[in-house]
Structure formats: structure tokens, C-alpha cells
Structure 1
């Protein structure tokens, strides 16, 4: 009797083992297929995001050019006055459009400016229109002076002066990692601005530099 019971148990275990093995095999295959499908969909989403990002950049660039043409109808003293009203310092304006501060002062006193310089002033105001009006950044002049990262002396002024208006708009939208923007602006920024200090937010809300561990 005990031999029959033992034989029955062995046969049952063998059958269940085969069933479990088959189930695991089927589950593993389904999981593998699901993983492949998820990976494929991630790749598709990544490509779509890249395409839409490019499309958005193109759209912003077209809008910027159109606004620049409209702003260019204003004379140079008028453009300078509007930039000043926004809070820009003359030295900042000079850096943004790639001229000297004395040139700005000359234009303010009624001196002639080239068509290219007028276009750059118009372009800067057009960019401000987009950053404030379309993206929603307040106090644009102050924002242009804000470091992209707390411990890196790079601001939107530097990006704009380097003809990277695309990065300026991306930073204004605040949708991308600032470090990723810095990678696009200067791939060697980590080495260039390496420091033994790290920014730490204090209890009073202010930032302080402390030695890294």
C-alpha cells in the first residue's frame, strides 16, 4: 500500500513539475515579448519627443524672426529705450548683441548704427517678447542674469551672446535638465568649472558654499 502511495506521489510531483515548468516557460516568453514591446515603444517615444522638440524649436525660431521684423520698425533710440525700460543695463545690452558699451552710448546720443546692429537690438527685444509673453517669465532682464546652475558662472546672457537662442528658450521653458543644456552649450563645462565647493541651501533660505566631503 505504501509503495502504491509513494508511486502515486512521485507521479503527481512529476506531472506538476512538468506543468509548472511549462507555465514558467510560457510566462518567461510572455515577459520577454512584453519587454521587447516596451523597449520598442520607448524608442518610438524617444524619436517622437526628439521630432517634436525639433518642430517646437523651428516654430519658436520662425516666431522669433517674425517678431524681429516687426520690432525692427522702431528706430535704434526707441529700441534702446524699451530695453532699458525692461531693466537691462547698457553693458548687458552690449554683450548680448556683441558690440562695445561705448557704441551703445553713442547710439543713445543719436549716433548712427548699422542695419545689422539695429537688427540685433530688434532681435533681442523679440526674444524678450517670447520669453515673457509666450513662455511666461517675469522680469526678463533679471532672468537673463540668472546662472543656469548655482555653481556655474554661465547665464542666458552668455548663451544668447553665443548665438544659442535655442538654449535660451529651452532654459526659459524650464522643461529640460539644466545640466543637459550646459552639455549642449559647452560639453567641457564640468572640467572647466570644477570646484572643491558645493552650494548648500541654509535654513534662512539663502545659499552658501561649503567644502565637498
Structure 2
């Protein structure tokens, strides 16, 4: 079972920052999950929320701010004073840090409240520029975004992310017309039957977000492929 650091090692450092990604590497994570959005000037940056309100000392929507404006904000102090001055990372900076490391990179494409036209292409361009396309899995709750990405790059590894308990999940997967590499269900909904059927179809199962050691051991026993967690040391 692979340990995938959710927004980096976000138990130990501010989520979705270079500090959190470095901590995940130091702690031996098998993969790193991160969230990508586009700035007003169309630069892919790493942030989960549509706004900077929760994770920085600023306020506003990312899609209304330029990279220069975002870089002036502090994304570390809300977590701990020792991370004061931590800035929002670009995808380019992030891939420079983690791209040559022996890990899987899980890039979640974030949309809303606007649907940017160029997010998928901008992300793919950077992934190929860094030569890490073989180790990236793309996921999103916006499955149309994954379709757009696949139309640009049919070889992209697609992770179908969902937070609802779908009826006839695998019928839905087949009807998407996408070649699904992995499914990423909320851990509440994963069952042994779901895991077995996914594996019969050569689909990996990566569940989110588990931060309890006992739960992690149960899911490990069920045979999941990846555990998305804030704590890469959860089983150590």
C-alpha cells in the first residue's frame, strides 16, 4: 500500500507549500497529492481553496489575483509562526522540487467558482517540460475537466475522484469513455467488493483522507493500493 501525502505532509507543515512537500519527501512518502488552480494571469499555482482566506494572511479569489499579488501573501503563519513567509508555490516550482524524486505525483485539477479554459493545457505543458509525465496521476471532482485533459493527452493517467456513493460505479466509469487508471473514493464508501471489482478491471484504488492509524490498517487489510493521508508517518 502506497502512502500518499495529502497536500504534502500537512500534519507537519502548511498544506500545499514547498515546506509540506519537502517534509513528505523527508518522511518517505510514496506519493504527493497537490491541488492546482490558475491565477488571473494564467499561472498554475498550488492551493486547495478557491480563495486564499483560510491558508494565508490575505483575502480574495485566486482567479482574481495575479501571481505577483499572491506571492506577497504569507501562507505559513496561519499554520505556525515558524513557517512565517512561506509563499504560495507555482506548479513549476513544485515540480522543480519533487519532479526528480522517486514518487508518484497526484495532481488534482481544481475548478470553481469559475471554469478556466486553459487549466488542463497549462498543467500538461509544465508536466512535460519537467519530463515527469510518466509519474503523474491527474484527478478531479470535475470529470469534464479530466475529459478535456484526456482529449489533449490520451496517454495521461486519470484518477477518478468522487465524494458521493455512486450507484453502479463501474457502469458510470465505462460510460465516461475515459481510460481510468485509478479511482479515488472517500474512504467512507470504499468496500471490499469495490476494491475487488476495480482490481479485476486493472484499476487502482486510492482512498482519501485517512489520518487514523487503526483505520489505515483496516484499509490496508482490504487491499487498497494507496492511502491519501495528512500524515505520511501514519503506519510508522
Determine which structure has more spread, i.e. the larger CA radius of gyration: 1
Could you say which structure has the higher helix fraction? 1
TM-score, reference length from structure 2: 0.23
Could you say which structure has the higher strand fraction? 2
Higher relative contact order (CA 8 A, sep 6+): 2
TM-score, reference length from structure 1: 0.25
